[in-house]
Homo-oligomer: A and B are copies of this chain.
Amino acid sequence: MKKYNFKEGDLIEVTTSTEKSQGILMQSPSQNLVIKLNNGYNLSINKNDIKSIKLLQKYKQQKEKKVSQIKFNKNLPTISILHTGGTIASKVDYKTGAVSAKFSPQDLLQIFPELQNTANIKSKLIFQIFSEDMEPKHWIILAKEILKEIKNKINGIIITHGTDTLAYTSAALSFMLQDLNIPILLVGAQRSSDRGSSDAALNLICATHFITKTNFTGVAVCMHSSIEDNYCYIHPGTKVKKLHSSRRDAFKTINDKPYAKAYPDGKIEYLRDYPKKDSSKKLDIKIGFDQKVAILKARPGLNIKELEFYEKNKYKGLILEGTGLGHLPLYTLKILQRMNKKGIFLVMTPQTIFGHINLNVYSRGRELQNVGIISGEDMLAETAYVKLGWLLANYPKNQIRKLITENLCGEINKRILPDEYIEE
């Protein structure tokens, strides 16, 4: 293999036996050369396939424009932005190939100068991690940081978050901090801010405007509604799922309606009833998560040993992604009964994503009820997982079976009865 002396950040043209590609040289693993193409994506080329490389332009570090010191405007509402990392409010550093977070108020307003006219923006870095590395312990730290900010009499909080596990975090915060009296919006981006097609700006601007104008309270997710840049949806924190790996409108409200449409000019269109500001409300704080909970998806060929693993390792709860209306194979009934008798909470959610569990239609459903399976109603498996781990850390064991099927903060859609799910 030849040695090349180009530097990261250089614009180069790589020729292989099959194609020519132009792009910016990125930090590359040993066997491959990675270049960032003009469309923003990275191309990985095996070094052995490279015939030649031509330098098109040397890397030049660009000087960043500084915005002037921000002045507090007492006529504007105040929003606190808590950063956790991810693609939003980040740029690809072509020198190191790493994504660098922009988190000071100055940095942020430099990327999104529009925000300055809408609200006083406070900004704090909580984490700088990819959201696939978010763990329950991070949810707890984040919940505590939110509580600190709430004491500062702010009008609302924006949490910037990687999109991979954003919906898990929004569910966790929804359960941990109930009866909030301000809006808390999780905002992500599917494309980094230096990409022409970035969704970061619209998501952040809609969230900022929405907070300054709404009387909505609680945890929600503000993300692109479509591949047009027209408006965002305000998704309920416990009913939202990332349903596409790459589209800007990847986030969808499942088995319910979004709370509202939020437009970049500040217009709000409410789509249904929502929790509202109310001075008599008292914040209900229950922070904690028991990690002895897991998710297991049913499939033809599911092995009894996979269930036994959770029994042997003293798990306290298991979310079962059943087939259809909430079914599992006949041969699992015996071990499920034993697990239930040991006090392991077994909660059924639909692997169909959409629709409601109904254990009363078919005989298998009734058999599963008889061995102790709890219906997860129309909860997302992810939300049921977060809820069960949270219940186990905050409630006595004898209340959990009842609470899991109760709607605590929008996670179960009680406005639609199970039978009505048949055809909406």
Contact = CB atoms under 8 A, between A and B. Distances in A.
A305 to B, nearest CB: 6
A246 interface: yes
Interface in A164-207: 164-165, 168-169, 197
A360 interface: yes
Contact of A313 (B164, B197, B227, B305): B305
B134 A360 contact: no
Interface residues of A, number: 87
A242 interface: yes
Interface stretch (A55-63, A143-151, A273-281, A289-297): A289-297
A99 B362 CA distance: 9
Interface stretch (A111-119, A322-330, A407-415): A322-330
B245 A97 contact: no
A227 to B, nearest CB: 4
Given A247-B355, A250-B352, A327-B132, A295 B305 contact: no
B352 A244 contact: yes
B299 A297 contact: no
Contacts of A363: 97-98
A223 B244 CA distance: 24
A91 interface: no
Interface string A307-339: 001000100000001111111111000000000
A245 B360 contact: no
A133 interface: yes
Interface string A238-264: 000111111110100000000000000
Contacts of A243: 352-354
Given A323-B132, A328-B132, A358 B291 contact: no
A232 interface: no
Nearest to A134: B300
Contacts of A352: 241-245, 250
B370 A250 contact: no
Contacts of A370: 29
A423 B300 contact: no
23 contacts: A41-B360, A41-B361, A132-B328, A132-B329, A133-B330, A134-B300, A164-B324, A164-B327, A197-B422, A242-B352, A243-B352, A244-B352, A244-B355, A244-B421, A245-B325, A245-B326, A246-B325, A246-B356, A247-B354, A250-B352, A291-B303, A294-B303, A297-B321
